[in-house]
Amino acid sequence: MIVTVTLNPSVDRRICVPQLALGRVQRAVSAHASAGGKGLNVARVVRQLGEEVAATGFLGGRNGEWIAKKLEQDGISGRFASIAGETRSCLNLIDLSDGSSTEVLEPGPEVTEEEMAALLDRIRELAAPETWMIVSGSLPGKCPPDYCGRLVEIASSRGARVVLDSSGEALRSGMLAGPYAIKPNEEEFLQLTGADRFSEERLAALADDLRRRGVRHTIVSLGSEGCAAMLGARLYRAKPPRVKAVNPVGSGDAFVAGLVVAWRRGADDSGALRFAAAVGAANALSEATGDVRQADIKALCERVAVSRL
């Protein structure tokens, strides 16, 4: 089973304006809402790729109810811990003049000790040797960063293969608990290593260190450049064809969904990276966040260049 963990879900609002002008009143051309926060984007793409998926995390208030309904419509099984606080919403402003996207991410609600304990119980129920557990996104409100580490540790100790896609202290704490794989993007990788630019040498050094702590694979996504990955001790690059992005938000989530689905189906290293890079690029081609079309994936897959370095 594939399970996604979204500690800080969000009602993602996507608003298109003809040309973004800060400090001015402007009228939107279109507005949409989707069930977001990284893990829920992953869950939706996993479902679109034809696999069963369960979603867990914290959910509360009106936004939480709205998200639960959306997930049900999309055939995603909700296994959330309820919270008293209100689930956040996040804004993605798309400037139609140049296609750029500006995101404003709310911090998210406070969660209590009892609510945190209830979610760890859910993780215990869901984590098993046949489980692929994807832990994505930020921590809500004042949730302590080491919570992510505790969660990864519980899931891993029950035999689940945990794939971690987070940032800042949550990534650091989760990473030290020895997940199966991590997938930072370039910015997160630079924060993690203190480097001022990406290099394969830095990636190899980080991955070697992490392998000693039990992290088998380290994959860095690099936007339109694709990704660099240390799968075990082997270094790869995968580069999708350049596409004209319509909305790149959620491409990292789509990439993770593709990677886990490919791994679960038994793909080899280059097959898994090829598929993940194509699914990430397919998301950038769709206006919706965390949304891919089979035809795009098929066409892109054939054009992803994978090399072993």
Ligand X SMILES: Nc1ncnc2c1ncn2[C@@H]1O[C@H](COP(=O)(O)OP(=O)(O)O)[C@@H](O)[C@H]1O
Min dist CB 210 to ligand FBP, Å, is 21
Among 61, 145, 223, 271, binds ligand X (CB under 6 A): 223
Min dist CB 102 to ligand X, Å, is 14
One-letter amino acid of 16 = C
Under the binding rule (CB under 6 A), the answer on residue 248 touching ligand X is: yes
Residues 175-234 that bind ligand FBP (CB under 6 A): none
Residues 145-204 that bind ligand X (CB under 6 A): 185
Q: How far is CA 155 from CA 44, 84, 161, 251, in A?
A: 22, 25, 8, 25
Under the binding rule (CB under 6 A), the answer on residue 10 touching ligand FBP is: yes
Binding mask 160-179 for ligand FBP (x = CB under 6 A): -------x------------
Residues in Cβ contact with 46 at an 8 Å cutoff, skipping those fewer than 6 apart: 2, 4, 53, 257, 260, 261
- DSSP 8-class letter at 195: -
Would you say 67 and 29 are in contact if contact means Cβ atoms under 8 Å apart? no
What is the rounded distance in angstroms from the CA atom of residue 210 to the CA atom of residue 123?
23
Residue 37, binding choice from ligand X, ligand FBP, none, Cβ under 5 to 8 Å by partner class: ligand FBP
Would you say 177 and 152 are in contact if contact means Cβ atoms under 8 Å apart? yes
Under the binding rule (CB under 6 A), the answer on residue 277 touching ligand X is: yes
Is residue 209 among the annotated active site residues? Answer: no
Size of the site for ligand FBP (CB under 6 A): 18
Under the binding rule (CB under 6 A), the answer on residue 36 touching ligand FBP is: yes
What is the rounded distance in angstroms from the CA atom of residue 41 to the CA atom of residue 248?
12
Residues 128-157 that bind ligand FBP (CB under 6 A): 137-138
The residues assigned a catalytic role are: 253
